[in-house]
Amino acid sequence: MNNLLKNKMVLSGLLIVFFFIFISILGPHIYRHSPVEQNISHRLQAPSARYIMGTDDLGRDVLARVIAGSRISLSVGFVSVGIALLIGVPLGLIAGFYGKGADRVIMRIVDIMLCFPTIFLILMVIAFLGPSIYNVMIVIGLTSWPGLTRYVRAETLSVRRREYIQAAEIMGIKKARILFIHILPNTIAPVIISAALGVGSAILAESILSFLGLGVQPPHPSWGNILTLGKEYISHNTWWLLVFPGTAILMTVVAFNLIGEGLRDVLDPRQRKER
């Protein structure tokens, strides 16, 4: 833990993430403005003392919508990564530990999934299921597990060759116990690193989908659909509709990438030495 807190990348990323978690939970109680309340007489107003981040085309408070959007973006990131972990970790363990037929089947499925661009798969599935926040969470999770499976499989193959695993097998310890008690804890490092990086990727994917109109649907706010409004009214010089949600997306994605890279340095010294 001390090494993690001494790592500047991890610390910087955690501070930004905690800031967004704070505003997503307590922001609506501190800044008591509705993100969906319309006031046409105040439409497209620039940032001011009354509207700190300005208003949109329906006179809605952009700061209130950015705060509400943070809750949606973080929820999508954490839930979709959770789904990917539930699928990817067990499959990677099974493929690496049992090998043979199980490994071939699982890795062929992974190879097929990785042949298609992730965003293309997401767009294709969303087109069939329809756009909604729950579908976005599920689809991003279901398309994010292949890379995680490969990491866990590689780590499992490495751990399985160690002497204490071979000794446990000779002693007749059940394979399930070896897998979950001895091998799984040793694959935690790449899982944590991949999860941290995956949250940032999921938030970015949700923003892209919402920007394209296939994610969170109005009047519910998300950073992506606020950007869509900014694009539509860019000729009106409504820079605040682009700058503020865009900055929020950038900061959040960079924060999780910093955490992931910092965790890689702390938890996986081998890669640090290689670099």
The domain 53-270 is placed in CATH, from the list 2.40.10.10, 1.10.10.60, 3.50.50.60, 1.10.3720.10, at 1.10.3720.10
pLDDT at 275: 47
Q: What is the DSSP string of 149-214?
A: HHHHHHHHHHHHTSHHHHHHHHTT--HHHIIIIIIGGGGHHHHHHHHHHHHHHHHHHHHHHHHTTS
Rounded CA separation 153/93 (Å)? 6
Q: What percentage of the chain carries pLDDT values higher than 70?
A: 95
Q: pLDDT per residue over 216-259, tens digit each?
A: 777 788 888 888 888 888 877 889 989 999 999 999 999 998 88
Q: Name which residue leads in pLDDT, 233 or 109.
A: 109
Q: What is the pTM of this model?
A: 0.84
pLDDT at 79: 92
Query: Does residue 20 sit in helix, strand or coil?
Result: helix
Q: Name which residue leads in pLDDT, 11 or 3.
A: 11
Closest alpha carbon to 92 in 45, 30, 154, 49: 154
Rounded CA separation 205/211 (Å)? 10
pLDDT at 118: 76
**Domain-by-domain residue ranges, the chain?**
53-270
Whether 274 shows a pLDDT value over 60: the answer reads no
